[in-house]
């Protein structure tokens, strides 16, 4: 079975599509296969598997972690969501740029966003379940976020009045993050 690289964006972000076998019973796919990930230049060692469920209009993010550095391989297993990644690496030619992809249980796309990207999503269906593998164990002392609607980034979210956590409502701007010493963990 093959996993196809369908897009590369922002010097590190990758959109992949596993081969899907569908018939009257449903479908089968290999969401992760070490040899295929190696071939595509993706990480093969993940240390944590996360699963979230959110209602329509929920925006989560933009989240990131610097110690240990955490990359995320994100996919939607129920429903549909708009997955977003923002480059927050100092010195990167794409610093502050974003990319979004509509991912669903139906299209089975996956988004790889390495450490140095802030990630988030907006639920488009009545509810969605997002699963993501990470390359770093969660560390609440070294995680943070960027304001979902930071005007300097200008993400075109598919919602005007999102449902947000209290933490995401008051997140810092990218400019505020870049002024902090911890931002030096992400250099291009």
Domain residue ranges of the chain, discontinuous segments joined by +: 3-185
Chain mean pLDDT for the chain = 97
- pLDDT band, residue 127 (cuts 50/70/90): very high
| Mean pLDDT confidence for 19-40 | 95
The residue annotated as part of the active site, out of 32, 51, 99, 132, is 132
Burial class from Cβ neighbours inside 10 Å (0-12, 13-18, 19+) for residue 153 reads: buried
Q: What's the pLDDT at 130?
A: 98
132 is catalytic: yes
Rounded Cα–Cα distance for residues 107 and 20 (Å): 9
SS3 13: strand
- pLDDT band, residue 1 (cuts 50/70/90): confident
Q: Which residues, 6 or more positions from 47, have their beta carbon under 8 angstroms from its beta carbon?
A: 134, 135, 136, 137
The residue annotated as part of the active site, out of 63, 161, 185, 188, is 63
Domain spanning 3-185: CATH 1.10.4190.10: no
Contact between 188 and 167 under an 8 Å Cβ cutoff? The reply is no
């Amino acid at each position: 079975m093959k996993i196809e690289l369908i897009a590369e964006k922002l010097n590190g972000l990758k959109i992949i599509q596993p081969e899907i076998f569908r018939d009257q019973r449903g479908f089968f796919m290999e969401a992760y296969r070490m040899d295929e990930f190696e071939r595509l230049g993706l990480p093969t060692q993940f240390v944590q598997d996360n699963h979230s469920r959110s209602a329509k209009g929920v925006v989560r993010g933009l989240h990131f972690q610097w110690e240990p550095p955490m990359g995320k391989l994100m996919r939607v297993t129920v429903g549909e969501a708009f997955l977003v990644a923002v480059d927050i690496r100092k010195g990167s030619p794409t610093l502050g740029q974003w990319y979004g992809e509509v991912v669903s249980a139906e299209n089975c796309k996956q988004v790889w966003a390495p450490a140095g990207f802030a990630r988030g999503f907006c639920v488009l269906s009545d509810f969605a379940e997002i699963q993501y593998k990470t390359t770093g164990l969660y560390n609440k002392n070294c995680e943070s976020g960027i304001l979902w609607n930071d005007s300097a980034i200008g993400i075109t979210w598919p919602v005007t009045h999102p449902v947000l956590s209290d933490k995401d409502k008051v997140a810092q701007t990218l400019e505020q993050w870049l002024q902090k010493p911890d931002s030096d963990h992400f250099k291009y």
